[in-house]
Structure 1
Amino acid sequence: MTLLTSLQTDKTALHRTRLVSAPLGSLQPGEALMRIDRLAVTTNNITYAAFGDTPHLRYWSFFPTGAEGWGHMPAWGFAEVVRSTVDGLAEGERFYGYWPIASHLIVQPVRVGERGFYDGTPHRLDLTSAYNQYQRTTTDAAYRAELENFQMLLRPLFITSFMLADFLEDNAFFGARQIVFSSASSKTAYGTAFCLEGRDVQRVGLTSGGNRAFVEGLGCYGRAVTYDELESLDPAVPTLYVDFSGDAALRSRVHAHFGASLVHDCYAGSAQTHAHISESKVALPGPAPQPYFAPNQIRKRNADWGAAEVTRRFNAAQLAFITRVNDASAPWMKVREHRGLSAAQDLVDALGTGRVDPNLGHVVVLD
């Protein structure tokens, strides 16, 4: 009998976790058992958890625990088919996708084809379909076995970065002459800045004093400014604010400083937890913050260009980004592997309490 071990997160304190084990039952017709063996666990996962109950996101709903107050924090990574009752899905096949931080997952594959499958488990049918798709490594043009760690660390973030850069350019940067990024040391922020290299718009990275040298060393921002130095920026320059921090106090300062020169406030995600996100909304001068959701831009570009062309452009950009991030002469990120779910607990605690080094990417490897 297979034993399922999972890491469950306290929804009220995202750094606090527990390990729960239980036997898995027999597979039913139409099901496959996946053994999860490699996951990327980053601040992005804390963001998923922080927005877990948001109606249009519902990240907690993908892998319900059945335990009040506890959730499965989702993560991107790789798993192999252990057993299958599904035609077209063979034991030993390897897939990239969205998994719980756990040893196994039972899926109900539908729309099985050359690229992979979608999980048709009933509770997932009304959730965002992009998170239900599982890609065969053998037919993924962007897959490189030696780059698995970088793919799972960067791909889910980079799709946001790539489509966000495209969204901003598609809207002519809302007339801005400079873009100010909060949490500029985050991978999603500097991935967006990377995609905008060569565009006729200044890129300013807002960051903490401790991360300033790292942000300056990236080279994808024209200027790095600490949060304390925000007011040193010229308030007359038409400015687009891309908010990766979710910090309401910082947002208020940005609006107050730029005033009528702030042409757009794009809320692209959060590196913070509930304490910051739930702060009360106050009236702000200038444009109201507008949430950005990558699947909306993906749908638009699928209609504009066709899905195959969207995939081709993304794959090319992703490979260029991974190549730059992994440049041996001046890497933007080094990978640290953590072995086992107990090590994953320590990692989630560090991420949830902000004790992370921005130039490290963290991977959990499961036996």
Structure 2
Amino acid sequence: MMQLQTRRDDLAHTRIVSHPLPALTAGEALLRIDRLAVTSNNITYAAFGDVPHLRYWDFFPTGHQDWGHMPAWGFATVEHSTVSGVEAGERYYGYWPVATHAVVQPIRVSERGFYDGYEHRQTLTSAYNQYQRCTTDAAYRPETEDLQCLLRPLFITSFMLADFLEDNAFFGAEQLLYSSASSKTAFGTAFCLRHASLQQTGLTSARHQPFVQGLGCYGNALDYDSLPGLDAGTATVYVDFSGRQALRQQVHSHFDRQLTYSCFAGSAQSHDFLTPAEAAALPGPKPELYFAPYQIRKRNADWGAAEVTRRFNQAQLAFYDYVQDPQHRRLSTTAHHGLEAARSLIAELVEGHINPQQGHIVRPIGT
């Protein structure tokens, strides 16, 4: 069992650690991790790993205070199991460490899949403990496994964020203003709201502006230097995927009272926390951290879990078709074989040196 561990105080610094494959005890299963998507989203998990209601570092403990397991989404195959209903050879989609193998304790086993029942995970967010059996997943397509690894964990945030904004009547805004508009979660949100009757404006770097304009999700795609030229009298919701405090300050100062809501939805470019004093000093509304599981919980109560899944699957498959449209090269995937290749990829992600048109899939075993 080989694991890629990350310095919790220096996310670009990683190491590969090897352990013998464990002997299973009753109630456990060993899975071989076949493929994982590693994106800026994973860097966000690591950057916010110690936030009390997130606790991303706690899902896969390493036993070392300074080193953590960066989690990622993807597919794994059961190699050995002591649990009835979880059989060798079955494939599951879920939340894994960046490693060659993982041991889980399946509970609540059903046709749909199982939950990991290890005690340390029971106080963590339930959505991350669920493992979906591929043969019963209505949205699973063997030919789109890479896209599912890459987009599904991001798109659930996009889908539920779009629903949250719509559910709140866009807080009375006439415009949604996105930072890091090239990020997959940002343009997934814009895709879900592409038929909404308000302006969607994407802010991005000058070098990414043509890509963002070509996505076809935003009414306007502007570089960051164009922000002062936006109409400050337009009621605006700021959807922040960059996490950059200087940019947040600029947006709040520019729109001031016309900023009806400020939503901190991710951190593609910065891993700095917004302190209470910084939040209080900003003009306009206090930035609010968006957390998808809260809206999932609300909609499970409103619609029922089956209807939430149906709506999400429908939107997810439409998004796959959208990014794969042969007339537009909106997204392509690149495979990285082995954990050594994953180390280089993570360093590039931390530094922000990744082409937004590329999606990156890690195959930990190397094949």
The TM tier, using the shorter chain, reads over 0.9
Contact 2:244 2:270 in 1 (8 A): no
- Whether 1:6 and 2:3 are equivalent positions in the alignment is yes
Contact 1:202 1:222 in 2 (8 A): yes
Q: Tell me the equivalent position of 1:87.
A: 84
Deviation, 1:272, is 2.8
Aligned equivalents of 2:247, 2:104: Cα separation in 1 = 42
Query: What RMSD, in angstroms, separates the aligned Cα atoms of the two structures?
Result: 1.0
- Whether 1:49 and 2:46 are equivalent positions in the alignment is yes
Q: What amino acid is the match of 2:290?
A: Y
1:338 to 324, 332, 336: 336
Moved more, 127-136 or 282-291: 282-291
Q: Tell me the equivalent position of 1:317.
A: 315
Secondary structure of the 2:227 match is helix
Contact 2:242 2:270 in 1 (8 A): no
Aligned equivalents of 2:55, 2:213: Cα separation in 1 = 36
1:285 to 271, 277, 283: 283
Q: Tell me the equivalent position of 2:64.
A: 67
1:155 to 152, 155, 174: 152
Question: Which 4+ stretches in 1 moved above 6 angstroms?
Answer: none
Matches within 5 A, 1:199-214: 199-214=196-211
Aligned equivalents of 1:355, 1:262: Cα separation in 2 = 31
- Whether 1:172 and 2:136 are equivalent positions in the alignment is no
Q: What's the CA shift string for 1:52-78, capped at 9, x where partnerless?
A: 000000000000111121100000000
Aligned equivalents of 2:329, 2:122: Cα separation in 1 = 40
Q: Tell me the equivalent position of 1:294.
A: 292
Compared CA separation, residues 326 and 86, structure 1 to 2 (3 A): same
Q: Tell me the equivalent position of 2:191.
A: 194
Q: What amino acid is the match of 1:139?
A: T
Aligned equivalents of 1:80, 1:185: Cα separation in 2 = 33
Contact 1:165 1:192 in 2 (8 A): yes
Moved more, 317-326 or 277-286: 277-286
2:120 to 119, 123, 126: 123
Aligned equivalents of 2:292, 2:110: Cα separation in 1 = 24
1:111 to 99, 108, 113: 108
- Whether 1:144 and 2:130 are equivalent positions in the alignment is no
Aligned equivalents of 1:273, 1:312: Cα separation in 2 = 34
Deviation, 1:278, is 5.9
Aligned equivalents of 1:366, 1:172: Cα separation in 2 = 43
Q: What's the CA shift string for 1:94-140, capped at 9, x where partnerless?
A: 00000000011110000000000000011111100100000000000
Extract unaligned runs of 5+ from structure 2: none
Relative to the length of structure 1, the TM-score reads 0.97
Aligned equivalents of 2:64, 2:263: Cα separation in 1 = 35
Matches within 5 A, 1:182-261: 182-261=179-258
Contact 1:183 1:244 in 2 (8 A): yes
Q: What's the CA shift string for 1:306-339, capped at 9, x where partnerless?
A: 1111000000000000111111221211000011
Q: Tell me the equivalent position of 1:21.
A: 18
Aligned equivalents of 2:270, 2:75: Cα separation in 1 = 26
Q: What's the CA shift string for 1:268-318, capped at 9, x where partnerless?
A: 1111343x3367725011111111111111111111111111000000000
Aligned equivalents of 1:25, 1:84: Cα separation in 2 = 12
Aligned equivalents of 1:116, 1:249: Cα separation in 2 = 44
Contact 1:46 1:273 in 2 (8 A): no
Q: What amino acid is the match of 1:277?
A: F
Aligned equivalents of 2:205, 2:10: Cα separation in 1 = 24
Q: What's the CA shift string for 1:134-165, capped at 9, x where partnerless?
A: 00000000000000000010000000000000
Aligned equivalents of 2:302, 2:273: Cα separation in 1 = 34
Aligned equivalents of 1:267, 1:25: Cα separation in 2 = 41
Deviation, 1:46, is 0.2
Q: Tell me the equivalent position of 2:325.
A: 327
Deviation, 1:366, is 2.9
Extract unaligned runs of 5+ from structure 1: none
Deviation, 1:25, is 2.5
Aligned equivalents of 2:337, 2:144: Cα separation in 1 = 18
Secondary structure of the 1:16 match is strand
Contact 2:98 2:364 in 1 (8 A): no
Contact 1:273 1:352 in 2 (8 A): no
Percent of aligned positions with the same letter in both sequences? 64
